[in-house]
Amino acid sequence: MSLATAPRPLRAVLIANRGEIACRVIRTARRLGLRTIAVYSDADARARHVREADEAIRLGPAAAGESYLAIDKVIAAAQRSGADAIHPGYGFLSENAEFVAACDTAGLVFIGPPASAIAAMGDKAAAKARMASAGVPLVPGYHGEAQDDALLREEAGKIGYPVLLKASAGGGGKGMRVVESEREFQAALDGCRRESRAAFGDERMLIEKYLTQPRHVEVQVFCDSQGNGVYLFERDCSVQRRHQKVLEEAPAPHLPEALRREMGEAAVRAAQEIGYVGAGTVEFLLDAAAETTQENGSPFYFMEMNTRLQVEHPVTEMISGEDLVEWQLRVAAGLALPKAQSELKLTGHAIEARLYAEDPDNDFLPATGKLLRFALPLESADLHGRIRLDSGVEAGDTVTMHYDPMLAKLIVHGEDRGQALAEMARALAALDISGVTTNRRFLQRLVTHPDFIAAELNTRFIEHHHDDLFAAPHATDADIARAALVAMEHLANGTPRTDDPWQRSDGWRLNAPRRLRLVFQETDGSGTYEVIATQALTQGPAQGLTQEPAQATWQLQVQREGEVTSRLAVQCQRLDNDTLALTLNGHRQRLFARLDPASEGDAIVLTAAGQESRLIWRRADRADHLPQETEAKLTAPMHGTVVALLVEPGQTVEKGTPLVVVEAMKMEHTLSAPADGAVEAFHVAVGDAVAQGDELLAFTNAGADTKGDS
């Protein structure tokens, strides 16, 4: 039956979201013949979802509270556009019962569950109480209404550390902390409350025992208004950082079929218990350390239910062959579920990786900037059914500080898990992305880690393998040579065209081959390398490194700690704005290169075959900062808003003492004292917006030499 002739006719749908999920909904809605309406903030006026929709309506300023979270503005936009329904995506208003009620009042179909179901599961404490009464196993914890600090601390002590603090109204890792000891409890509680208040307008907390080796296994459920319910198998989302998922896969590895059925049926019962309609996810903790079932007869515990479509829904689509957004639209239109449980089949294995604009080597700080390149240049046959890139950005788009830093989701499918892993490694390497720092290299380390390949999974996977995943990569001689060529090419193209040869900076010498000395350093400050580059005499008087038709050939001498480690014959050819072809001893390689400003030079970022390397170019034309200068101040590591000042001006602190909390992209980041010393003065106040590099406070290092240079 057509959606236009369904019991609740749908002809036009407004997507009350942005980015990747808005683009995802637009694709299916358009395929089903629906008119699509996007909404946007001032920061998203030129965003991809705005470009792809049939229509788009401005909501307001960049701040989510004045745009995407403004219920009255979203409802007004839907009425103005003539939409029949609103799809909330995930995040923002997707689990807001007040928003559902407003849609009902305005005569708009909400593509999701009824307000009563959202309310039943939105309050995590109440939801756990209801699940307990229904016989669903729960993790030991405190889910009460009393929220006094002393009481919560006492309950945490009764449960036993480590405990997990969670926002009662929360989700998505917001307002959540693992607390290892009573000494850490108050600071963690304060931070959780701030995040919860900012994200959900509610600071109530619940406390649970933190299982040390659990797997996070969730079940995709779907219910219709006729009382039917099914589960579309499960996903393993154990690989997380800060309680946010990084990799997801379906089905869950090593899950016996009997346990799969038991968890699926329990999830459907949980959904039907609250009168659920639409797509939902019931999340369980599976005790990875359990060899036998627990006293309650099951090795899994109910954690929460997400009353919306999940970010990771594509892996379920890949193994089931179903379009879950289409299912959502049909159920919202009053139609029955497209298939019964017996008709659903699980085929193969799928893995999803979340690509973020962030720097994993710098505590996952969000990154901003303009995407110079963004594409997945694989053959069309690969992209049809086997590899999928769901994104909300394109080359030329700007990543701002205002919203979640996820750029895209890379999803692959294989006949089995081994093939899916191989496809993921290949697709990550093929991603053509530059201009913004991403977690691509970190994802590559994850999917090729022996324990991930062996499916030895738990929610502390990243923590347990920290040394492997965050090992500082040491540059090879080839990396150093490539960086030298990029620096030389930059100098050649940046040299002013002048008749005065003494003003050149590209190594020109009178009656002698051009010669350059370049110095590089690892990004962590270790490993200083020197390159002596001499133009080969056989090439003649080439005026630039990339001049056609004769390419200049250079002899590079790489030195480490004063010792020559390599001699290489090299050439460089620029293919386009940031693509180079470098030839080292006859080995030609295409790579992408860019220069990022750094405190003591330029960071040269090279990407070849999907592998990224970084070196600091210690440029002779840039003065080094004195140690006492870098230690005397703390700067904002990213764009954001100051939400807390944790010490008083003049206060003496120890190294590692938390000083300032900055919120960016809906997450808090705490800046700590770099050494023993004192905070002289704050240059910001709570509520101030700061840009990356802004000085936040003056700090006196107790061990610094205060005499300086005269």
Q: Catalytic residues, which ones?
A: 308
Q: What is the CA radius of gyration of the chain?
A: 28
Q: Tell me the C-alpha distance between 218 and 250, whole Å.
A: 10
Q: What is the 3-state secondary structure (H, E, C) of 589-636?
A: EEEEEEEEEECCEEEEEEEECCEEEEEEECCCCCCCCCHHHHHCEEEC
In sequence order, what are the residues at sequence separation of 6 or more whose Cβ sits closer than 8 angstroms to the Cβ of residue 389? 376, 383, 408, 409, 410, 411
Structural tokens at position 655: 């190294």
Q: Give dist(CA 140, CA 250) in Å, integer.
A: 28
Q: Classify residue 8 by its DSSP letter.
A: S
Secondary-structure percent of the chain, ordered helix, strand, coil, rounded to 5: 30, 30, 40
Q: Which two tokens stand for residue 326?
A: 């289409």
* Sign of the alpha-carbon torsion through 63, 69, 74, 76: negative
Cα atoms found within 13 Å of the Cα of residue 553, Cβ hemisphere only: 12
How far apart, in whole angstroms, are the C-alpha atoms of residue 623 and residue 618?
A: 9
What length does the chain have?
Answer: 710
Tokens of 562: 């004063």
The owner of tokens 């659903």 is 344
Q: Are 121 and 307 in contact (CB under 8 A)?
A: yes
Helix (H, G, I), strand (E, B) or coil at 221: strand
In whole angstroms, what is the distance from residue 693 CA to residue 608 CA? 29
How many other C-beta atoms lie within 10 A of the C-beta of residue 236?
25
- Find the DSSP H helices in 139-274: 149-159, 182-200, 257-273
Q: Which tokens go with 653?
A: 């602190």
SS3 for 249-314 is: EECCCCCCHHHHHHHHHHHHHHHHHCCCCEEEEEEEEEECCCCCCCCCCCCEEEEEEECCCCCCHH
- Contact present, 315 and 350 (Cβ < 8 Å): yes
Cα 47 to the chain's mean position, in Å? 18
d(CA 28, CA 12): 12
Tokens of 665: 């992209």
Residue 59 has, within 13 A of its CA and on its CB side, a CA count of 28
Nearest Cα residue to 671 out of 693, 645, 649, 689 = 645
Q: Tokens in use for 230? A: 């099914």
Peptide bond into 214 cis (omega under 30): no
* Alpha-carbon gap, residue 401 to 514, rounded angstroms: 44
* SS3 per-residue string spanning 355-424: EECEEHHHCCEECCEECCEEECCCCHHHHCCCEEEEECCCCCCEECCCCCCEEEEEEEEECCHHHHHHHH
How many Å apart are CA 216 and CA 284, to the nearest integer?
A: 6
